[in-house]
Amino acid sequence: MKTLNLFLVAVLVSACAHAQSSGIFRGEDLQETTLSESLSKVTPGSIILVGENHGLSEHQRQQLEIMQGLRDSGHVVAVGMEFFTFTDQSHVDAYRAGGLAEVDFLKAIQWGKPSFDFYKGQTLFPRASEGAKTVALNAPRGLTGKVAKGGLPALTEQDRALLPPQFSLGRESYKKRFLEQMPHLPNPEAGEKYFAAQSIWDDTMAWRATDYILAHPEQVLVVVVGEFHTRFGGGLGDRIQARSPKTPVIAFSQINTTDLSDDEIRSEMAPHQEYGVRANFLWLEPAKSPAP
């Protein structure tokens, strides 16, 4: 996504003068649209990133609506989940095949919070009869935790074997935005370590997502992930395009407008003067319902 100049940002903010607290809007020009229209140009072999606020039932519903909308359009839909580590893919497969009871599955993957009921619908959405899978995307927590504490030099040879192929740190603009969200770090070195862990997180998910869609070009992969990873394209979207430049990527940003003023809503929607458009599509809704 290209950075927009100040004049264009002002024009787009002005166009959204009467802020709405719900609806789907195009990120580029802030014009309201529909779910069917936003999905109308999706082609097989695409990756759809859905950036959520964790733990909100309204966001869960929107994710399932996107998946169902794609299916209704004739697409075979696979689902990638940030919340499963790729080393647990065999457990995910066994659970989906009915060979592992849910209680045993959750124990095997060491599930914490929120309740798995919040992600169960997304996990079970792909149809095995169509050849679609639920894909475990994330890096092992022990790996990113070790890097957050000690940096990349802390990794053993065994640890490094878990890194995605051709791993590299994220781009500088993403690093800047990431560090802006962490104002209380004790020193710059701590920021470097945390960003290295974040880069592993993003690049592992990108690696797993692109490997899957390149192996299944007749499908569409919907990735459910925290919204920061998708915002302004610098994180997960950027890493996917770096690994597979020809793979179409469409990003939805789920924005909770509960208790936001009109000015705050406009600020959430407006392209950033430095980082550009927040996402291809912005789905606004007051979201007060906690996960089950």
Predicted local confidence at residue 186, as pLDDT: 85
Out of 3.40.50.10440, 3.30.930.10, 3.40.120.10, 3.40.50.11550, select the CATH number for domain 6-285: 3.40.50.11550
Q: Is the pLDDT of residue 1 over 60?
A: no
Question: What are the residue ranges spanned by the domains of the chain?
Answer: 6-285
Predicted local confidence at residue 96, as pLDDT: 97
- State the SS3 of the chain: CCCCCHHHHHHHHHHCCCCCCCEEEECCCCCEECHHHHHCCCCCCCEEEEEECCCEHHHHHHHHHHHHHHHHCCCEEEEEEEEEEHHHHHHHHHHHCCCCCHHHHHHHCCCCCCCCHHHHHHHHCCCHHHCCCEEEEECCHHHHHHHHHHCHHHCCHHHHCCCCCCCCCCCHHHHHHHHHCCCCCCCHHHHHHHHHHHHHHHHHHHHHHHHHHHHCCCEEEEEEEEHHHCHHHCCHHHHHHHHCCCCCEEEEEEEECCCCCHHHHHHHHCCECCCECCCCEEEEECCCCECC
Higher pLDDT, 274 or 63: 63
pLDDT, tens digit, 9 for 90 and up, residues 11-47: 444 444 456 888 999 999 999 999 999 999 999 999 9
Tell me the average pLDDT across 190-219: 97
User: Over the chain, what is the mean pLDDT?
Assistant: 91
Predicted local confidence at residue 184, as pLDDT: 82
